[in-house]
Amino acid sequence: MITCMTAVLPEAARALIDNPTYVVLTTINADGSPQSTPIWVKRDGDDVVFSTVRGRQKTRNMERDSRVSICGYDPAQPYSYFTVDGTVSLVDDAGDLISELSYKYANEPWTADGTDVVRVVCRLTPTHVIFR
């Protein structure tokens, strides 16, 4: 097994992210403890983007502390995995990204949000990547 440590996504990690691989996002709570959530992701170059909603715990955590980590693995080879540590930036979204991700992961349109929901696009810029 090869271990690759870099700030650039290795091709094998890119391939996993480009497929509908579920990823776990870890943010930092105000007390310093971790908060982990499964998320849908896509890749934009070496950045990883995902969608969430304003007001959720993970969003509040990222607004306060932009350091995050994600971890994903190949379901066919669960000991083949990647972790990406980095910083995240947040911008409001009209819902385009969650719609794209819904088709990628569920092959159907996204319909779960109400009218009072403010979607956010989160862009994770890697500072440290491990692939095994």
The answer to whether residues 7 and 125 touch, using CB atoms and an 8 Å cutoff, is no
pTM of the complete model beyond 0.75: yes
User: How many Cβ atoms from other residues are within 10 Å of residue 117's Cβ?
Assistant: 12
Confidence (pLDDT) at 3: 53
pLDDT of residue 1: 43
The pLDDT of residue 6: 63
Partners of residue 2 on adjacent β-strands: none
pLDDT along the chain (132 residues), means of 10: 68 94 97 98 97 95 98 91 96 87 93 80 95 88
CB-CB contact of 35 with 61 (8 Å): yes
CA-CA distance, 58 to 37, in Å (whole number)? Answer: 8
CA distances from 33 to 85, 111, 113 (A): 16, 32, 28
The domain made up of 4-131 has a fold known as Pnp Oxidase; Chain A (2.30.110)
